[in-house]
A and B are shown apart, each in its own frame.
Chain A
């Protein structure tokens, strides 16, 4: 079973920030938070991951709460091409990833 809880769907206006929440209240100390997305029928694409510090890369930012029980993926300026299913996963290195149903993000023109 997935160890995360995400809303099933969200909408976001094009050009605005998309903030995707994830709850992982049972995360253990050595588990990382990973985010992937899947556009239509393509393979899942890695976005970002973090342990406890906030992380930023060219795709997104990851904000992890101090207690690590939840996190938010931020797409700062969403485009139509960001429409996808976004998966939040907690995982130890070297273990298989368990994908839940994710959040279906629709970016609207």
Chain B
């Protein structure tokens, strides 16, 4: 596609439920990144992939968070047993080799 597409744009979920956030990167982009952004703060790194391989997951806060990119294209960030502190804007970015990121519009997650 023309840009990085994320869905849903908004997600409200009850505490304890699982959520899956989807990212569809720009076609052909090798690298895909997940970030989380709290209001008034810069994006915080979560994890990234080159093709289907998860290269770095050091930013995932705990084992309730996981991500996959099974075919090297679309990626899913899953949060299990959501908590209120998980509420944030979740942003996905993709990049070709040796270039800057293009970010998607994000998914605003609210845990109530």
- B41 and A49: CB pair below 8 A? no
Let me know if B50 is at the binding interface, CB within 8 A: yes
**Cα separation A52 to B4 with both chains bound (whole Å):** 30
Chain-B contact segment, one of A61-69, A72-80, A89-97:
A89-97
**Cα separation A97 to B59 with both chains bound (whole Å):** 11
The count of residues in chain A whose C-beta lies closer than 8 Å to any C-beta of chain B is 22
A96 touching B105 in the complex, CB below 8 Å, given contacts A36-B100, A46-B100, A87-B42: no
Interchain Cβ contacts within 8 Å, total number: 52
- A96 and B103: CB pair below 8 A? no
- B103 and A102: CB pair below 8 A? no
User: Contact flags (1/0) for B23-43 with A, using CB distance below 8 Å?
Assistant: 000000001010100000111
The 8 closest A-B pairs by CB, nearest first: A43-B103, A99-B42, A46-B100, A96-B45, A93-B98, A99-B43, A44-B103, A96-B48
